[in-house]
Amino acid sequence: MYRFIVFIHIASVLGLLLVHPVTVAFHLKEERDDTRIRELLEVTEAASKLRWFFFGLTIATGVLLGSLGSWWGTAWFWAALAIFVAIGVVMNVYGGRTIDRIADTHDDAEMERLLTRFSPWLLAVTGAGGLLVILFLMLFKPSPG
C-alpha cells in the first residue's frame, strides 16, 4: 500500500507539472499582441482547476505517506512539507497575482509595465529548485546528527 501511495504522490506532482503555466509565463513575457496575451491567459485559467486538484492530491498523499511511514517526527519530512507550501505561496503570490493583474488591465501602457517587470524565471527556479530539494529529502531522508 505504501509504494502505491508513493506512486500516486509522484504521479500527482507530474500532473501538477503538466498543467502548470510556467511555460505559458515565458511566452507571456515576450508577447505584445493583446489578442495572443488574452489567449495565453485563457490557457492558464483553463488549467486552474486541474492545478489545484493535483496540488491538493500531492499534499494529501504526502500527509498520508507521513503517517504510514511514521515520518512526522523527522526534520526532513517537515522541511519537505514547508518547501512545498512555500513553492505554492511564491507561485500564487508572485505568479498568480501578477498574471491576474495582467489579465485585468485594459491599458496598454500598464500591461507593458507589468509584462516588463514579470520574471517567469523566478517561478521556474522556485518550482524546479524547490521540487529538486524535496526529491533529495524524500530519497535520502537526511537527519541531523
What's the rounded Cα separation, in Å, for the pair 115 and 98? Answer: 9
CB-side neighbour CA atoms (13 Å) of 129: 10
**pLDDT digit string (tens) for 105-139?**
989 899 999 999 999 999 999 999 999 999 999 99
Check pLDDT > 80 for residue 15.
Answer: yes
Radius of gyration of the chain (CA): 18
User: CB 30: neighbour CB atoms within 10 A?
Assistant: 9
**pLDDT digit string (tens) for 31-66?**
888 889 989 988 888 888 899 999 999 999 999 999
Per-residue pLDDT, 145: 63
Query: 134 φ, ψ to 5°?
Result: -60, -45
Put simply, whether the predicted model's pTM sits higher than 0.85 gets the answer yes
Per-residue pLDDT, 119: 93
3-class DSSP assignment, residue 1: coil
Contact 12, 6 (CB under 8 A): no
